[in-house]
Structure 1
Amino acid sequence: MRVRSLLPALAFTVLLGLAGCAAAPHRGAAPGGSVSSGSDSSGSGSGGAGSASAAGNGAGAPAAVPASLTFTATTLDGKRFDGTSLAGHPVVLWFWAPWCATCASEAQTLPDLATEYKGKVEIVGVAGMGQVKEMHQFVSDFDLGRMTHLSDDAGVVWKKFGVTEQSVYVLLDRRGKVVAKGWLDNQQIGDQMAKLAAA
C-alpha cells in the first residue's frame, strides 16, 4: 500500500523534470547550440546571430552577438576594441574624417548627445581617411573625448558596414540590426537616438 501511494508522487516529479528540460531551449538557443537574436540582424555587413557575449543586456542574461558586431579594431589610444562588447545595446557608429567640414559641424553636437544618452545608447566614432595625429587633434578640438573613437585608417570597419564616404551614421538597435544608415543633420541624429533609447 505504501509503494502504491508513492507512485503518483514519483510520476509527478518525473513529469516536472521533463518539462524543465523541454523549456530550456526557449532561452534563445537555436539548433546546433548557437544563440539566436530572435531576428535577422542583417544589414550592411551584418548577418545571422553568433555566440553569446559576456556583456549583459540589462536583464541579467547574456546578449546575443549578431554578425554586425563581430569585428575588432584599434582605438585612437592604441587599445584593442572588440565590437562584441556593444551587444545588447543600441549603437551609433559615426564614420568621420579629420578634414571633413560636415564632420566638424556634427562634432559640435555629439558631445552633448553622448552625455545625454550615456548608458542608454553607445556612440562610437570610426575615424578614417586621415593621419592618426590629425584624428587626435580633431578629437581634442571638439571635446570628443567622452566617446570611444576607432582609428580605421585601413578602412576595415568602413568596408564591413558598406561606408564609402564621410560623414555617415550607422544606427543599430539592441539586436544589432542596422535600422538607419546615411547622413543625418544634428536634429535628426538626436531624434534617432531618442528612438533607439526608447525601443
Structure 2
Amino acid sequence: MRAAILPAAARPAAVLAVLLALSGCGGAEPAPAGAPEAPASAGAGTEAGTEVGTDVANPDAPELLRFTAATTAGERFDASELAGRDAVLWFWAPWCTQCQFEAEHFAAAQAAHADDVAFAGVAGLAPVADMEGFVEQGGVGAFPHLVDADGSLWQRFGVTAQPAHAFIDDSGEVEIVRGLLGAKQLEEKIAELVAK
C-alpha cells in the first residue's frame, strides 16, 4: 500500500489535526470519528475560518490579537478589541470531558469578573452543531465562543490539546496554561491577571 503525500501547504494543518486528535483531553479520550473534519461554516452562512490581518477594529493591537473569527452564534468576533484589556481565552472541544467539567467554573468566573476581564471560548475538533450544544448544556453562553474549524487559532496560540487557557493581560503579555483548571486554580489565575 502506498502512502499519500500531502502538498507542503497542507502539512501543518494535517499535523495539527493529528496531534489534536491524539492528545485531546490529555489523551484520556479519543476524538470522535471525523472530528478533525469539522465543517467550514458556522451559523447562518458565516465563514468559520479565521481571518488574520489588518481588517480589524484596532490595527495597533498586538500581532497575536489581530484576527477575526466567527462565533458559534454566527457573529463576527474581532480579537483586536481585546487589546488593552485583561482577557481569558479558553480552548475546548465539545466531546472533551475535562472541558465539560471546566464549563461550570468558566461560567461562574465570567459572571464574577465580567466588568474587569473579557472571556472567550475557542472551540475546535467538532461540527458547529456540537459546539453550540456544548455552549448551551455547559451554561457558558454569556460569553462568545469562536469556531476554530481549521485549527488556526489553536495553532496561533501554540495549543495542541484541550483544555488550554490563554491569560492575556492589558499590556498584551500572554501566559498559556495547559490542562484542567479547577474553580480555585481558575480564580487564582484570574486574580494574578487582574493584579498585573
Letter in 2 for 1:188: Q
- For residue 189 of structure 1, what is the aligned residue in structure 2? 186
Displacement of 1:130 after TM fit? 0.5
CA distance in structure 1 between the aligned counterparts of 2:180 and 2:169, rounded to whole angstroms: 17
- For residue 6 of structure 2, what is the aligned residue in structure 1? none
Equivalent runs, 1:45-124 vs 2, <5 Å: 64-124=60-120
CA distance in structure 2 between the aligned counterparts of 1:185 and 1:175, rounded to whole angstroms: 24
Displacement of 1:198 after TM fit? 2.3
TM-score, normalised to structure 2, is 0.67
In structure 2, do the counterparts of structure 1 residues 64 and 195 end up closer, same or farther at CA, with 3 Å as the change threshold?
A: farther
Displacement of 1:181 after TM fit? 2.7
Unaligned runs of 5+ in 2: 1-53
CA distance in structure 2 between the aligned counterparts of 1:98 and 1:177, rounded to whole angstroms: 28
Equivalent runs, 1:92-171 vs 2, <5 Å: 92-171=88-167
Displacement of 1:127 after TM fit? 0.2
Which contiguous aligned blocks of 4+ residues in structure 1 show a shift greater than 2 angstroms? none
CA shift digits 1:32-77 (9 cap, x unpaired): xxxxxxxxxxxxxxxxxx9x965xxxxxxxx951111111111111
> Larger RCO: Structure 1 or Structure 2 (Cα < 8 Å, ≥ 6 residues apart)?
2
Count of matched residue pairs: 142
- Structure with the greater alpha carbon radius of gyration: 1
Unaligned runs of 5+ in 1: 1-49, 55-62
CA distance in structure 1 between the aligned counterparts of 2:180 and 2:160, rounded to whole angstroms: 16
CA distance in structure 1 between the aligned counterparts of 2:131 and 2:180, rounded to whole angstroms: 21
Q: 2:71·2:144 contact (CA, 8 Å) conserved in 1?
A: yes
Task: Classify the secondary structure of the residue corresponding to 2:61.
Answer: strand
Letter in 2 for 1:147: F
Task: Classify the secondary structure of the residue corresponding to 2:167.
Answer: strand
CA distance in structure 2 between the aligned counterparts of 1:138 and 1:91, rounded to whole angstroms: 21
TM-score, normalised to structure 1, is 0.66
- For residue 51 of structure 2, what is the aligned residue in structure 1? none
Identity across matched positions, percent: 38
Q: 1:75·1:148 contact (CA, 8 Å) conserved in 2?
A: yes
CA shift digits 1:86-144 (9 cap, x unpaired): 11111111000000000000001111100110021111100000011111111111111
Displacement of 1:162 after TM fit? 1.1
